[in-house]
Structure 1
Amino acid sequence: MRRVQIGLLIQQTGPAGIWSPSAEACARLAVSEINRHSGILKQHVELVVQDAGTSATDAHAATRRALRHGAHGIVGMLPSYARRAVADAAMNAVPFIYTPQYEGTAAEAQTITTGETAAELLAPGLHWLSEHRKAQSYFLCGSDYVWPRASLSIARAMIPRFGGKVVGEAFTPVGTDTYDGLIERIKRARPDVVLPYFLGTDGISFNRSFHEAGLCPRVLRFTSAIDETIVYGLPPEATENLFVSSGYFASVRSHNNGAFLERYHTAYGETPPPVNSFGQSCYEGIYSLASLVEQAEAFDARRVHRLAGRTEQQRTARGLKSKAVVGGRQPIFLARLDGYDFKVMTV
């Protein structure tokens, strides 16, 4: 059987490196399943994992390495600041699937996004907090790059629609590990809700500081930037009054998610990297690329892009086989943290 390669670009170091084990595990699971069903275009699939580093320059170089090694397509789960560099390096030579949640704008015509947008993730939570917790004042904070800034800009525009106001906003450099000054600003502003949008392990550092300052019992937090992996880096008391929106939680009760988790644990045992939305997006990204290529009948970027938005996925952990890769949207879940458990709520 002939072979094709898919390049998986993930950051294995830096704040976003916390997601690399689950991202690789989910991607490899998807590839093994596809190979059991005759591969892509009846060709065996090999996954080539490339470390995208911690900068846009690193991501560009990783993409070029993947192409030199013969990658027929690229699946990327990396921060938004590196997305354009990957698209530029791919140069429409191969399809590029960008999988994580993102701010909702991707100017690069050669990028196919499959993740949830900031507007989709923010609206249900802001509405629920207004209706059920009577939240009126919000403090916005996050890592200083495009995804947190653009997402919180969208939040700033949404909040007045739900009867609230923004009482403070602050951004810190990626890699910050001391948040004393930011915590003091939050205390002075006395918000009902903090929206923390920090990258990877920066989210662990911020939320630990938030807990150590004694704010968890008094101030609500709502974000889509926290997942199972980050929560496991916190003491359970630090998750009090923490609400998270996402397109996927491992705790979602459904036949399809149960089957996905069974396959995942069968492949990796009882203590694999925790399944989370960022890692699981790579599973769906691999399937999305496979489905688009099958429809295009070639690993041709331009033909694939003409199909994007109307090609059905073959399989997702959520089981929505009839939804389009780009044009149709997945449901958004809102969860309340109970220790380390994400309790999915009805919204």
Structure 2
Amino acid sequence: MAGTALTACSKAEEKTATAAGGDAVKVGVLQSLSGTMAISEVTVKNASMLAIDEINAAGGVLGKQIEAVVEDGASDPAIFAQKATKLVESDKVATVFGGWTSASRKAMLPVFEKSKNLLWYPVQFEGNECSPNIMYSGAQPNQQALPAYDWAKSKGYKTFFLVGSDYVYPRTANLILAKHITADGLKVAGEEYQALGGTEFSGVIAKIKAAKPDLIFNTLNGDSNVAFFKQMAAAGMSPDKIPVMSFSIGEQEAKAMGPELVKGSYAAWNYFQTLENPENAKFIAAYKAKFGADAVMTDPMIHGYLDVYAWKAAVEKAGDFDPAKVRAAAVAMDPIPSPLGPVKFATNNSLTQTGYIGEADAAGQFKILWTSTAPIAPDPYDPVAFPGKTCVIG
């Protein structure tokens, strides 16, 4: 896949050499550099490394250069847990940036809660979790999945088919969507799952064809999306025939799959490369200069990048690398500039951010069709699916 070529970074870059004779602070960068999720996660690692390089070039953090210890989670939650343990216990890192699937995050959570260290998690997820040892910069359901549903409802879609990878994020996100669809008197026409990395969708596609939904909500992750969209097209069910709203396909995935496959389909994120602001233009230029002029940007990449800068700002506000002090400083900071625009962590460790819905074009970029009227405050527990549950960290 396209992600494989991106793993061929120099060993010197992976270790992020520190200034000669200067003190250093170690951080972990933990993403899938191999396996089914590499198509998505390699570029998040690259974005985090770009932020580290930029910060080091500007003088580092509290007078120290950042030394990144890069590890491969290999698309396996058990390996993510093993590598997180290594980073915290053996490498003695000050913090860790990484993870994509909720299965990987759930596997790492006990490591960070036991060690009292801090994980910066950059990807949208299903909510229903609230830990003092994770900074959740990716979207909560009320910042991605539910705005997408509300938009679809406003466009007149009434029947929905839910397709996802078989692990916690897709199942919980679809539970939330189904609760809202049912509460609104609309119809869930079907719900099907495929193992993460699975490539056989003939049975799922036959059920979609029989159900004739108005729209498919797609929570497949990784390169399963390639097989799904190819087989849908081969069955005469391309996005112009049955609209698809995806929550894990961005510009990188569209490029790797072939933009024609996803042309006309929809995606909901908190960032698209087509956003126009000075910080985004600066990031795009810097990333392309480092990783190639044909590189594309995605929402998780931006969150991986801004997480490093948010950690730096919080460390400097706290005057300390201690994870508890950094977390307290992070949720007390004023908004910080980013390619998303100014963003701020709420007291529940999640990011307040704007929601967007885009339509994929023939080049694999997204035309923005809808923007939330204001940044959306994060709510980890959807009140319809999980009534009475709240997130309090303190």
Q: Distance in 2 between matches of 1:240 and 1:28?
A: 31
Preserved contact between residue 270 and residue 340 of structure 2 (Cα < 8 Å): no
Identity %: 23
Deviation per residue, 1:17-42 (Å, 9 max, x gap): 11233112211111122123321122
Preserved contact between residue 39 and residue 256 of structure 2 (Cα < 8 Å): no
Query: In the alignment, which residue of structure 2 is the partner of 1:38?
Result: 59
Runs (5+) with no aligned partner, structure 2: 1-21, 372-394
1:127 aligns with one of 150, 155, 159? 150
Q: Distance in 2 between matches of 1:328 and 1:99?
A: 10
1:345 aligns with one of 352, 369, 375? 369
Query: In the alignment, which residue of structure 2 is the partner of 1:28?
Result: 49
Q: Which deviates more from structure 2 when the two are superposed, residues 304-313 or residues 286-295?
A: 304-313
**Residue identity in the other structure for 1:302:** A
**Residue identity in the other structure for 1:280:** I
SS of residue matched to 1:141 = strand
The reply on whether 1:263 has 2:309 as its aligned counterpart is no
Q: Distance in 1 between matches of 2:76 and 2:297?
A: 25
1:85 aligns with one of 75, 84, 107? 107
Structure 2 CA distance for partners of 1:239 and 1:291, relative to 1, 3 Å: same
TM-score, normalised with respect to structure 1: 0.92
Query: In the alignment, which residue of structure 1 is the partner of 2:340?
Result: 318
**Residue identity in the other structure for 1:226:** I
Q: Distance in 2 between matches of 1:139 and 1:329?
A: 29
Query: In the alignment, which residue of structure 2 is the partner of 1:146?
Result: 168
The reply on whether 1:221 has 2:232 as its aligned counterpart is no
SS of residue matched to 1:75 = strand
Q: What displacement does 1:152 show?
A: 1.0
Query: In the alignment, which residue of structure 1 is the partner of 2:178?
Result: 156
Preserved contact between residue 130 and residue 162 of structure 1 (Cα < 8 Å): no
Q: Distance in 2 between matches of 1:312 and 1:16?
A: 34
SS of residue matched to 1:334 = strand
Query: In the alignment, which residue of structure 1 is the partner of 2:302?
Result: 280
**Residue identity in the other structure for 1:341:** Q
Q: Distance in 1 between matches of 2:78 and 2:148?
A: 35
Preserved contact between residue 10 and residue 77 of structure 1 (Cα < 8 Å): yes
Runs (5+) with no aligned partner, structure 1: none
Preserved contact between residue 197 and residue 203 of structure 1 (Cα < 8 Å): no
**Residue identity in the other structure for 1:251:** T
Q: What displacement does 1:56 show?
A: 2.3
TM-score, normalised with respect to structure 2: 0.82
Deviation per residue, 1:188-218 (Å, 9 max, x gap): 1110001111111111211111111111232
Q: What displacement does 1:89 show?
A: 2.1
Q: Which deviates more from structure 2 when the two are superposed, residues 154-163 or residues 297-306?
A: 154-163
Aligned length: 344
Q: Distance in 1 between matches of 2:131 and 2:252?
A: 30
Q: What displacement does 1:327 show?
A: 5.3
Preserved contact between residue 141 and residue 194 of structure 1 (Cα < 8 Å): yes
Q: What displacement does 1:125 show?
A: 2.2
**Residue identity in the other structure for 2:228:** F
What RMSD in Å do the two structures reach over aligned CA positions?
2.0
Query: In the alignment, which residue of structure 1 is the partner of 2:311?
Result: 289
Q: What displacement does 1:227 show?
A: 0.8
Q: Distance in 2 between matches of 1:314 and 1:131?
A: 33
Q: Distance in 1 between matches of 2:142 and 2:232?
A: 25
Query: In the alignment, which residue of structure 1 is the partner of 2:15?
Result: none
**Residue identity in the other structure for 1:150:** T
Q: Distance in 2 between matches of 1:332 and 1:51?
A: 30
